[in-house]
Amino acid sequence: MSSEKGAKVFADDRKYVFHSWSAQAQISPIPVESGLGSYFWDFDGKKYLDFSCQLVFTNIGHQHPKVLQAIKDQADILTTVAPQHANEARNGAAQRIVELAGGDFQKVFFTNAGADGIENAVRMARLHTGKNKIFSTYRSYHGNTGSAINATGDPRRFPNEFAHGHVHFWGPYLYRSSFWATTEQEECERALAHLEQTIIFEGPHTIAAILLESVPGTAGVLVPPKGYLEGVRALCDKYGILWIADEVMAGFGRTGKWFAYQHANVQPDLIVFAKGVTSGYLPLGGVVISAKIVETFNDRVFPGGLTYSGHPLACATANATIDAMKDEKMVENAAMIGEKVIAPALVELAKKHPMIGDVRGQGVFWSLDLVTNRATREPMAPYGASSPAMNEIVAECKKNGLMPFNNFNRIHLNPPCNISVEDTKLGLDILDKAFTAMAHHYKG
């Protein structure tokens, strides 16, 4: 531990590093020294219980020894190789991921992250169908590259709208329903009716794919109502449209299933993954491809590729991550933590703190919709922005050693899939204290 070193890391960051999504003079990054399990710490030794999983990717926690060893072992064998060659690590990762997806998925196209995974899934869909338009919801995030940012439904899209052929529609969100629904069933039925009308008025013969986060993450952990994904699948089949499941944030155990769409009884045509596949230890993403789309490119060139596609170090990391998750039953633990610990605790917190307007989530993927008035559901921060109240709540969490994930008027709780019951309860207790200290922000 060294305050002097921490100060230098901070100063050098401010001098040389350009940060994403930020006004550079208005940020104050935490200088992080290291981490272990569900915690990370700064150079002064202040520990944070990581309920953010950084950007919702350290699904197995920090510095898992089996994965670190796999990275070291692979570095001794083959550090890198061009993607036109076969390599053992990439084969192993592709096989593991195809088997986790099941159904008629056959192959994996590897990318460097989620955004370029989306780009290539969109390209596959357009080439396979011969159609152009891509549907996605207003409350969504799909990445910061050309098609991915245009598919995104939050304000980060506004200064980046250069790609063509993107159409947005309203997805289900009962708490702030766009359909005047009062029950989950009504929300599901009306959201699907709205989607079908949008398809009809945009022209089914022009639409290549519907791109959906299986559970929209940054937009608020919007768990789809029962039957919604089945309804989307039915509409895709009816109108000859592909379904692309964005599992970048929701996949690899986050919801208590390997993939979040597996809570439903239907299968997408393409799956985009990243983040948790390596627990973020090395960058890796990709597209899982179903049989009919694989067949399209058997004798037709797929016009896409990346220098680091299937990078051996990254794929070895994925193999070790998936194996560790299986061996240590982390997906099962995520489901148990969500059902037995987080869900009942958040229900009690909502009873105690009126600023909690809505509780949503499953597994280790949760969001609290914070309001200044429960009757009007006035959000504690406006859409597309923060507020002094939200900043103070987050600061209070950090002061007491909890790192949440926050966006607009929401606090998200995304601990590792292998978090212990004890650490989960500790984080919830810190959250309870933060809401108590910030109760004066509620005006209802």
Domain match, 294 and 374 both: no
- The two tokens of residue 334 are 């995520």
Domain match, 36 and 101 both: no
Domain match, 36 and 131 both: no
**pTM of the model as a whole:** 0.96
Tally of structural domains, the chain: 2
The pLDDT, as a whole number, for residue 264 is: 98
Owner of token pair 């200290």: 437
Domain match, 300 and 198 both: yes
Residue range(s) defining the domain that contains residue 410: 3-63+329-441
Average pLDDT, the chain: 97
Domain match, 211 and 285 both: yes
Owner of token pair 């600023």: 355
Cα–Cα dist 81/99, whole Å: 25
For the chain, which residues score pLDDT lower than 70? 1-2
For residue 74, which of 314, 274, 269 has the smallest C-alpha distance?
A: 314
Q: Are 53 and 38 in contact (CB under 8 A)?
A: no
DSSP 156: G
Q: What share of the chain is helix, strand, coil (3-state, %, to 5)?
A: 45, 20, 40
The pLDDT, as a whole number, for residue 158 is: 83
The pLDDT, as a whole number, for residue 161 is: 78
Name residue 189's amino acid. Answer: E
Domain match, 58 and 74 both: no
Domain match, 251 and 292 both: yes
Domain match, 269 and 310 both: yes
Length of the chain: 444
Specify the CATH number for the domain of residue 215: 3.40.640.10
Domain match, 288 and 268 both: yes
Domain match, 283 and 340 both: no
Domain match, 276 and 418 both: no
Last residue of a domain, one of 300, 327, 354: 327
Q: What is the pLDDT of residues 15-61, one digit of tens each?
A: 999 999 999 999 999 999 999 999 999 999 999 999 999 999 999 99
Distances (CA, A) of 392 to 346, 438, 439: 20, 7, 11
Last residue of a domain, one of 295, 327, 359: 327
Q: What is the pLDDT of residues 272-302, one digit of tens each?
A: 999 999 999 999 999 999 999 999 999 999 9
Last residue of a domain, one of 283, 312, 327: 327
Cα–Cα dist 274/252, whole Å: 9
Domain match, 322 and 414 both: no
Specify the CATH number for the domain of residue 378: 3.90.1150.10
Q: What are phi and psi of 406, to 5 degrees?
A: -125, 150
Cα–Cα dist 74/54, whole Å: 25
